Amino acid sequence: VDAALWWIDRSTVQYLVKQSHSNARQKREEFLGSVNILSTLTQEERGLIADTMYTRVYKRGDQIITKGDQGDEFFIVEEGQAYAAINMERLK
C-alpha cells in the first residue's frame, strides 16, 4: 500500500464546522452573561459581541497593554489573573 487515507464527505465537514461554531458561540455568550459590567446587555447584544470576540492567551509576566496605548480594545479576563501596574508597582 502506497497510501491510506481517511476521508469525510463535504456535508459532514460543513455540519461539524457549523456545530463547533455554534457551541463555541454559546459558550462565549454564557461567559459574557456572567460578566457583571455586561449584565445589562440583551441576549442579542451579547450574541453580537460573542460573534466578534476571540481568545488571546498570555503567559505570566506578559504585558497586555501599555500606558499611552490608543485604547481601541476591550479585554475581559476569562481565565487566570491580570493586574495593572505603573513603574512595575501593582495598583489596587
Q: What is the pLDDT of residue 86?
A: 87
Contact yes or no for 49/75 (Cβ under 8 A): no
* Mean pLDDT, rounded, of the chain: 91
**Residue-wise pLDDT tens digits, 10-50:** 999 999 999 999 999 999 999 999 999 998 999 999 999 99
Find all residues with CB under 8 Å of 4, minimum gap 6, and list them: none
DSSP 90: E
* The pLDDT of residue 1 is above 90: no
Q: Are 35 and 49 in contact (CB under 8 A)?
A: no
Average pLDDT over residues 50-64: 91
Residue tagged 449584565 (cell numbers): 39
| Mean pLDDT within 58-76 | 91
- Quote the cell numbers at residue 57: 492567551
**pTM for this entry:** 0.67
pLDDT, position 88: 84
- Confirm if 64 and 82 have CB atoms less than 8 A apart: yes
CB 41 within 8 A of CB 50: no
